[in-house]
Amino acid sequence: MEIGLNCYVMRDFMAHFANPVRLKILCRLAGGSACVTELVEATKEKQSTVSQQLKNLLLAGFIAKQREGSRVYYRIAHPAVRKTMEFLQGLSAELPQFKTRSVFEAKES
């Protein structure tokens, strides 16, 4: 694969992780499936914001949904997304020297 094309594919893939709300949703889903109510609670975001970002992640193929009774549960659907989340979570433990705010703290500032 041509390096230029490969860079565009990687850029488009990683762009989904750059949004703090999407990243919080993916962090939660890395621990297992969840419904919107659980995602709103975990992310501390408005339901409409979470729903909008879930739609973006669904359209990108990052997550899948499944109806169980009256609830819809979301899960990470693509193996590359799961591997990336595992990598990012492992990497975050090794990066204490960076002076950045957590996406979980950014909302409260």
Domains of the chain: 3-106 (1.10.10.10)
Nearest in space to 25 (alpha carbons), one of 42, 2, 46: 42
With a CB cutoff of 8 Å and minimum separation 6, the contacts of 17 are 23, 26, 84, 88
pLDDT digits (tens, 9 = 90+) for 41-72: 999 999 999 999 999 999 999 999 999 999 99
Is the pLDDT confidence value at 32 over 60? yes
Helix or strand or coil: residue 100? coil
Q: Which residue has the higher pLDDT, 58 or 5?
A: 58
24 vs 31: CA distance, rounded Å: 11
pLDDT digits (tens, 9 = 90+) for 71-98: 999 999 999 999 999 888 888 777 665 5
- Confidence label for 2 from pLDDT (cuts 50, 70 and 90): low
Q: Which residue has the higher pLDDT, 97 or 19?
A: 19
Is the pLDDT confidence value at 13 over 50? yes
- Predicted local distance difference test score (pLDDT) of residue 91: 80
Give, for 84, the enclosing helix (H) or strand (E).
helix 79-93
